[in-house]
Amino acid sequence: MGTNLLSFIKNRQKLGYLTKGILICVFLTFFILCPIFSVFSESLMSVDGSFTFSNYTNAFSNEETGKAIWNSILLGLSVTALSTLIAVPEAYLLAKTRLRKLWWLDLVLMIPFMVPPYINSMGWMLFMQRNGVLWRNLPSLKPLATSFYSFFGMVWIMSMHTSPFLMTMLKNAFLSFPKSIDDASEVYVKSRFKKFFKVYAPILLPNFAIGAFLVFVKALSEYGTPATFGPQIGVSTFTTMITDKMQIAPIDFGTAASLASLLVFICMLLWALQMVITNKKAVSLKNEGESHYSKSYTVAIIGSIFLLTIFFFSAFIPLFTIVISSFKKVLYKNLSDAGNFTLENYQIAFSDDSGFGTGFEAIGNSFFIGIISSLIVLLLGLCFAFYSYKNKKKFLGRGVEFIDMLPQMIPNIVTGIGMIMFFNAIYKLFPVYRTFWMLIIGYSVVFLPGMVSYIKNALIQMPNSLLEAGEVYSKNEFRIDLRILLPQAIKGAFYGFAMTLIVTLRELVTAKLLQPPAFYTISLFIDSQFEQGNQQAAMALAVVSVAITLALLLPLEYISTKRKRKA
């Protein structure tokens, strides 16, 4: 009798594992894999629907397309290199000098990453352009302003945005550096220069590889900066070329799909390379207590000057330019000039005279889409994270984990294009294309991996014995999830929900691709106003957008920093 009961319970558990796994995989296949496969299939189809490689041959034989591909790769490499030059000294100063005691520096230096990249680009353009802020107030630096409108200028703008992200990863790695190795290096390696390259660099290489890979992919797939700054210097990239092929006549879905497929191939190749480097060179970084750091006041003073300089260029200049431009009546005059200060730009931005709706509508639309998307992502993230965590050693568990993390490995623009092609093809069966539900689905898919990561990071800290004890005392999986996993995951889930909401408010490329007719979010409103030449009104709403982002994100970063300090 006991044996039969045990066998029944095991079979029931196995059936539950298979049923849930299959249902989750079907769901993920429909919303993630099918759109991605639609991009690949479209790239191999001619206009009449027959199989062909002509889309690839046409794309690669076209001089303009080849130049865009080269520009994207060069841009990714250049941004990664410059971000590294900025982030490595920053991380070292914040982890291995007296400056590590100033916890608020983390918050201040993360501000450039909190501001949307397209808004940063607009700020730099208004600062450096002819008759811009620099041009009028420091005439001797006109040659610098002129030379800024170049490929290096684009690299500079994007590096100012991505370097804080890389800095945070490297700083955490420095702080987790094994104290025993650090102590030994103090005895055997006296030179700080040799210590960095012979001790720190080899051990921190996997962390750097992960960060550098993410920065490269972000630069390669970035749309905001190339779309705003690129046309000013005559530089096109993967993303701008793809959107042009999708939105500007003559529309060429085949070429757009072939470029998107190539972009996916490059990103997946880099991801695999990063995994190889990480697995081969990985060293377990466990915090063994406070490690050695430089107590030199000279190093701290020089470091403070360096960090202040970086903050000035990465955050102060673009944000200052955006704020003063929002109060100008005439953009090409100084704010201090008689009669040039006005609040009319805010009135224009929040009125309906522009034909784009009001700024209030854009903000309301953004929060409406953001909150619904964040709630959907929260529920799906909990479901998928719990399943893959409990079945991480099983085939379906690993399959679910791979598929739900797939949108993080490929650019958002590819996901957006895939959704256009897939949901347009099944419109009669699933009529969401060209509705706000399309935008919600797009946001949910794009930001799902982030939520899953936050929840899993919270669950990793839970001892396995807790889950095993729950499985002994209850065979009801829902009760185990509710009583054991959910309390452990709640902090990560809350942080993931908040971050998802914040990112949806600033997302541009997904919104631009999946935008329903006459429907504007904050990012779309700012972009449209700026492109139409109403730059002051665009900057007025940009100020509001940045204020909302900082008001939501700074408290989260403060809580996160405070928790790390206690740990």
pLDDT digits (tens, 9 = 90+) for 282-308: 555 555 555 667 778 888 899 999 999
DSSP assigned state of 335: T
Cα–Cα nearest to 412, from 264, 542, 266: 264
Helix (H/G/I), strand (E/B), else coil: 288: coil
At residue 34, does pLDDT exceed 90? Answer: yes
Tokens at residue 435, please? Answer: 């509705």
Contacts of 512 (CB under 8 A, 6+ apart): 223, 243, 523, 524, 527
C-alpha dist (Å) from residue 153 to 157, 168, 230, 307, 440: 6, 24, 10, 21, 34
DSSP assigned state of 328: B
pLDDT digits (tens, 9 = 90+) for 453-496: 888 888 877 777 777 776 666 667 777 777 788 888 888 889 88
Q: 395-420 burial by CB neighbour count: b if 16+ within 10 A, else e?
A: ebbebbbebbbbbbbbbbbbbbbbbb
Q: How many CA atoms lie within 13 A of 385 on its CB side?
A: 28
Say what percent of the chain tops pLDDT 90: 23
pLDDT at residue number 282: 52
Mean pLDDT value across the chain: 83
C-alpha dist (Å) from residue 439 to 33, 96, 162, 505, 564: 17, 44, 26, 12, 35
**Are 526 and 334 contacting, i.e. CB atoms less than 8 angstroms apart?**
no
The mean pLDDT of 226-240, rounded to a whole number, is 89
pLDDT band at 380 (very low <50, low <70, confident <90, very high): very high
**Are 82 and 156 contacting, i.e. CB atoms less than 8 angstroms apart?**
yes
DSSP characters over 84-118? HHHHHHHHHHHHHSGGGG-THHHHHHTHHHHS-HH
pLDDT band at 497 (very low <50, low <70, confident <90, very high): very high
pLDDT at residue number 178: 64
The CA-based angle 274-280-284, given to 5 degrees, is 100
DSSP assigned state of 393: T
**Are 55 and 43 contacting, i.e. CB atoms less than 8 angstroms apart?**
yes
pLDDT band at 6 (very low <50, low <70, confident <90, very high): very low
C-alpha dist (Å) from residue 529 to 132, 348, 537, 542, 554: 19, 11, 7, 11, 27
